[in-house]
Amino acid sequence: MSKNIIELKGISKDYHIRVLDRINLCVKENEFVTLLGPSGCGKTTMLRIIGGFESPSEGEVFFNGKVINDLPPHKRQINTVFQKYALFPHLNVYENIAFGLRIKKFGEKKIREDVSGMLKLVGLSGFEKRDIESLSGGQQQRIAIARALVNKPKVLLLDEPLGALDLKLRKEMQLELKNMQKEVGITFIYVTHDQEEALTMSDTVVVMNNGEIQQTGTPVDIYNEPENAFVADFIGESNIVEGIMEDDYLVTFLGRKFECVDYGFGRNEEIDVVLRPEDLVITEKSEGMLSGTVTSAIFKGVHYEMIIQVDDVELMVQSTLKSEPGTEAGIKFTPEDIHIMKKQAISGG
């Protein structure tokens, strides 16, 4: 088990309102951690507190086990890459990357080697003499990453670094960034509001809402076992319906009883049930099965997204086969597809 490089203990931040509320978080060495949540939930504030650009109203920030609350940004072994590249427009690519090394008064030979190594890492060897303005957005962002990494920080903070790029380039860069992180072995703390980006890149995803951490876990855990309705709704599409636990392995929702997996809820407890659209299968209607009327079927490129009206609830189903609107349909799923969560009002998102 590698050790914690960053720890947040009881971090709160108050402006006119409280924007972070008693945050506890551990980040391990070489981990790729993503802070994920809707706009305004406090992700950037948390990153700025880790970077030292903002001080917490309460709580402590630890780096390798030592409190660093009073350490200014340039004395922390932490670098930041912002959404806007913040490169020096009057310096060429080489000088942009060399900047931090010159401040540290390294010799020209070492600077040349390091800059060349970084350009290789970000796939832009040969770009040394190019002007910043002559580069595309994606290339500028790579240079910004190279400029941050050349200082060999222990932790790199990235605030929506791919936000300004188009979808195709963003997807390419997601994979490249993940590979780069593995190659350099530096801890990355990454901020995004894009759930797919978070699931693709991260070792650990921290889902936030309203200044609080909702759930921390691996992408697979967060997706398959959301701890509350907010996480279920924010990560991927989901149907959330109210239910009641009848027994450890029996739950009632939509007026029917279903076998389920034991999630440790009490008998007669009111709960929320999450059904993922991709887990539901449309089939011939039969006795005892959940069924309803198809009200819409929209082609989404890979699959159809269909809405089935079941009593007064609409369920979304994804399928590669289309069911015509107006037809009656049965809906099949397994006990494992029924995710049961503590009852909670959905906010934000």
Ligand X SMILES: Nc1ncnc2c1ncn2[C@@H]1O[C@H](COP(=O)(O)OP(=O)(O)OP(=O)(O)O)[C@@H](O)[C@H]1O
Q: Which residues lie near ligand X (CB under 6 A)?
A: 15, 19, 37, 39-45, 193
Q: Please state the closest distance from residue 45 (CB atom) to ligand X, in A.
A: 3
Alpha helix stretches (DSSP H) within 7-65:
43-51
- Which candidate, 95, 79, 221, places its Cα nearest to that of 161? 79
Please say whether the beta carbons of 204 and 31 come within 8 A: yes
Least Å from the CB of residue 65 to ligand X: 26
Q: Considering the complex, state which of residue 21 and residue 337 has its C-beta at the smaller distance from ligand X.
A: 21
Whether residue 308 contacts residue 294, with contact meaning beta carbons closer than 8 Å, is answered with yes
What is d(CA 185, CA 48) in angstroms, rounded to the nearest whole number?
A: 22
- Residue closer to ligand X (CB basis): 214 or 318: 214
Complex with ligand X: residue 45 or 228, whichever CB lies closer: 45
Q: Return the number of the residue (193 or 276) whose C-beta is nearest ligand X.
A: 193
CB-based contacts of 179: which residues, under 8 Å, 6+ apart?
none
> Minimum Å distance from CB 205 to ligand X?
14
Q: Which tokens hold the place of 281? A: 């299968």
What CA–CA distance (Å, rounded) separates 146 from 142? 6
Closer to ligand X by CB, 230 or 304: give it: 230
Backbone angles phi, psi at 129, to 5 degrees: -90, 0
> In whole angstroms, how close is the CB of 158 to ligand X at the nearest point?
12
- Do 272 and 340 contact (CB within 8 A), yes or no? yes
Q: Which is nearer to ligand X, 55 or 136 (CB)?
A: 55
Taking the complex as a whole, the smallest distance from the CB of residue 35 to ligand X amounts, in Å, to: 8
> Cβ of residue 44: shortest distance to ligand X, in angstroms?
3
Report which DSSP code applies to 134.
G
